[in-house]
Amino acid sequence: MGQSSRSVANLRRARIWLFLAALAVIFFALAQQRLAFVLGIVIFVFALLISVMLHELGHFLTAKKFGMRVTQFFVGFGTTLWSTFRGETEYGVKALPLGGFVKITGMTSMDEVDVADEPRSFRNQPGWERMIVLAAGSFMHFVLALFLLFVLAAGVGQAESTNVVSGVIGCVPASNLDLLNDSCTGASPGRSPAEIAGVKPNDKIIAVAGLPVRNWSQLESALQAQKAGRTVPIVVERNGRDVTLSVTLAYVPNHKGGFLGIDSAEVYQRSSVLGALAYAGDGFADTITSSASAIAKLPAAIPDLFAKDRASTPAGDISSVYGVGEVTGDVVEAALPWQAKVSVVLFLIASLNIFVGVFNLLPLLPLDGGHLAVVIFERIRAWFARLRGRPDPGLVDIQRLVPASLLVFAVLVGFGTLLLAADIINPVHIQV
């Protein structure tokens, strides 16, 4: 929205390539009969389209609110499939579902505007109104992200570990890092204390060394209080009966206390309205910070995009839309409880919206943040002119900024293409 016609055309071409890449992934997955994976991709693409449309809706609603002349609001790009007029605005659907666009009269000093329409043009409105319209797109991304995080906490619930055994680890990890990564590299498989003692899945541990435990936190504390190598009684509830097992806890370097060797079962606890609001706020703030960090890491990530150890470098923290779509497909396809799948997908979509919202506010043309910077510069310049008793210099000559805008756009497309290629050739796999 609001770019020169050339920039808008370039943006549409970039979206077309992303759409074709998504179709390629879907067809390839269908050929492999990965239906759950395809479902995940479809869910992500649909969520992405909704996100883009909400972005444009933010611009549309605020422009209408301030009485600006909005001539078009379309879903998709390309050939028009259907359209209708409501007042002065044409609403419609185009052939390629790659988002949408809204056209506001007189976005820049370059646009030709009929004399009769000039009073209602974007450029003729007060600076604060123009800034609200420009920021409304990112604002809608943030609102959507907060809503999804709220739904995650209040509707799906947050995972909490319990004192019920979901599985027995088949080794003593060689280090605390291996323990955290569920790795048995360099260890002796099949010799964890829990397995030797006969702990079984679905056992509920109710006491350790005489200390009662009612949840995972208490179980961890009880185990951390024991020294490695010590033999302690552990009471489990099994099939309605209490069974006492004698367990010799193992030593894991840098691990506090003795090592037992179990995975805990998880339950999903829904939050109250206030709890969900707090969770959404905390999650939003954390993701804002991580998004800013990811943007700062972009230049340093380029050399490692095709490295074998990409996941352990800054390049492992960034991904293209293609990469995030693949992760969504992997999550839906994984053998996980439905709550885990929905939670991960909702959080991915929320995080992507926050990242896009933050990125879009960067003071670079042709991003909305670049246009915001231009308006802010105009108002500061006008303020200095008033102090000096001079007339308002008016609008910035956007024609002079077009080369810089095209350069930034070329860099963004180039980096996006490189990131897309890396996600296809050298993807980052996550454990789900």
Q: Write out the catalytic residue numbers.
A: 56
**Hey, what are 407's tokens?**
């350069």
- Interstrand relation of 204-208 and 211-212 (parallel, antiparallel or unpaired): antiparallel
**What does DSSP say about strands 89-104 and 241-248: parallel, antiparallel, or unpaired?**
unpaired
Task: Look up residue 280 and give its two tokens.
Answer: 């959404």
C-alpha 154/C-alpha 164 separation (Å) is 24
C-alpha pair distances (Å), 213 with each of 209, 216, 221: 10, 8, 9
Distance CA 248, CA 2 (A): 69
Lookup: tokens for 60: 């549309």
- Cα–Cα separations (whole angstroms), residue 264 to 152, 164, 204, 267, 286: 22, 6, 10, 10, 26
The one-letter amino acid code at 146 reads: L
Backbone angles phi, psi at 206, to 5 degrees: -115, -10
How far is residue 57 CA from its own chain's centroid? 20
